[in-house]
Copies of this chain bind each other. A is one copy, B any other.
Amino acid sequence: MEHSILPSNLEGYGGIRAYSTEASQTIRNKVLADIDAAFSACDIRDGAILSFHHHLRNGDGVLNMVLAVAEKRGLKDIHVAASSIFAIHEPLVGHIQRRTVTGISAGFISGPVAEAISRGMLDKPATLYTHGGRARAIESRELSIDVAFVAAPAADMSGNVSGTAGPRACGTMGYPKADVAAARHVVAVTDTLMAYPVPQIEIDQQAVDWVVEVSSIGDAAGILSGTTKPTTEPLGLEIAHRTAALIEASGLMVPGFSLQNGAGGISIATASALATRMTQTGVKGSFASGGITGFHVKMLENDLFEALLDVQCFDLAAVESYAKNPRHQGISASVYASPSRRGAVVDMLDAVVLGAAEIDIDFNVNVTTRADGTIIGGSGGHADTAAGAKLTIITTRLTAAGFPKIVDRIGTVTTPGETVDVLVTEAGIAVNPKRTDLVERLRTTDLPLCNIEDLRVQAAAASERQPTHSKGERVVAVSEYRDGSVTDVVRQI
């Protein structure tokens, strides 16, 4: 192209670089031969921080595949920055032993990896984030990801990723979004390479550097439970009905009501009881959030909620709904739960129903370690929703496996008691004394209110064993609050 004469510099604009024949660096086909090639393309070296997400849950095959390559390449000191780690990630224990991996951070760690960390096998203390805190740490570059590996149910050669196509469709993909936005390199690993463009792009090509096709990204059976169902067990049902009655009595179950509850039997039974009451009273809620189940989908379809704000589909009914219903909206982990000034979905919650491994008489909750001090999870969204919701309810039985669940001192503080409002057990309901307004309101109902100390005494009396918690000196994990402060440390067992 011949130019008219261009000035070399222009006041109010700056230096002018004349156009010359475009030598586009654009990569149309990002498909690499295998994960090993992705390690080369991303120049992954000793000490790299690699991120993973858990939408494939206990069926995820991608984390194991990637770390096997790291080991084969003789890499050392890899930091695994996962949104969650499950039993299926057991091979990670070997990588820790051989020092391929020396650092781990996640929102939730269970199974053999949690055991290995608890026994002091990992060089550096693991970091246990809340889901929102993890997004905050990534977005602030406090956790500076080198390469984000995305387990992609479907992808095209340009790197667009879909969660709703392929044999291992997982629906919404809220967890890797902060990772792919911040990581230096992004690799989509898929078993379903489709023609451009994939349907319902969840992560777009501008976020993805490379695509690797593998035979399978995981075990579909581990990814999604068939159907999530309410408990039918009498004690659990009683707790659920009390919880629903409590929410109604709190005055929050009015038009625009919003709810988060887990996928456990008691949680779903609580939602089921609420659904019945909402239908009877004609209350239409605004949204349900968090991990979404077929039960929430039914509530949406029955017009009990205006919207679902879904960070992760928990079952196939949720995946199918997400694929077809525009009112079933996907949200990123950051939008879901980040403690940033701009606020998150959790801040708009009226009620959240959560579980506990242990709770103390100041309402501090442990969902991180079990009675013997072994890591069994971590906050995930627990501390985030507790901080955000107007009414945070912990439901639990007095005892489990012979251990008391209401105790003087919990093994690990996951969620600060000042963000917890009520404890519902089969033996009674204890309201956090700081919620004087709620105490006042519930006093006029026939709900069985009591003091949390009474519940602790009853739990102790009903127990056969005492929690030992961890005894070691060495710190094996740090429980980070959503803002990056530390609620507790976990010591070696």
Contacts and interface: CB of A to CB of B under 8 A. Distances in A.
Contacts of A219: none
Contacts of A483: 22
Given A200-B326, A205-B335, A486 B19 contact: yes
A20 B485 contact: yes
A324 B324 CA distance: 9
Given A4-B413, A287-B196, A329-B201, A206 B334 contact: yes
A13 B484 contact: no
A206 B159 contact: no
Interface in A269-291: 286-287
Given A286-B195, A326-B324, A329-B197, A344 B485 contact: no
A22 B123 CA distance: 31
A12 B343 contact: no
A297 to B, nearest CB: 16
Contacts of A17: 484-486
A401 interface: no
A485 B364 contact: no
Contacts of A332: 204, 206
A274 to B, nearest CB: 19
A419 B22 contact: yes
A343 B27 contact: yes
**How big is the A interface, by class?**
35 or more
Given A12-B124, A19-B486, A335-B205, A199 B340 contact: no
B205 A342 contact: yes
A2 B417 CA distance: 10
A110 interface: no
Interface in A1-53: 1-4, 6-7, 10-13, 16-22, 24-28, 30
A160 to B, nearest CB: 9
Contact of A307 (B197, B309, B488, B489): B197
Given A10-B489, A201-B329, A348-B158, A1 B362 contact: yes
A11 B123 CA distance: 10
A487 B17 CA distance: 9
Interface string A447-475: 00000000000000000000000000001
Given A123-B12, A206-B334, A339-B26, A287 B6 contact: no
A341 B27 contact: yes
A135 B258 CA distance: 37
A303 interface: no
A400 interface: no
Given A21-B418, A197-B286, A489 B158 contact: no
A256 interface: yes
Contacts of A417: 1
A205 B22 contact: no
B7 A340 contact: no
Nearest to A22: B387
A327 interface: yes
Given A16-B486, A27-B342, A348-B158, A10 B478 contact: yes
A335 B19 contact: no
Contacts of A20: 485
A416 interface: yes
A10 B287 CA distance: 41
A199 B24 contact: no
Given A13-B124, A17-B484, A326-B326, 12 more contacts: A6-B489, A12-B123, A16-B478, A17-B485, A21-B418, A22-B387, A26-B340, A30-B343, A195-B306, A199-B306, A204-B332, A206-B340
21 contacts: A1-B416, A10-B125, A10-B489, A12-B103, A16-B486, A19-B485, A21-B418, A22-B481, A26-B339, A28-B343, A159-B343, A196-B286, A197-B307, A197-B345, A199-B306, A200-B329, A201-B331, A205-B342, A205-B343, A206-B344, A208-B342
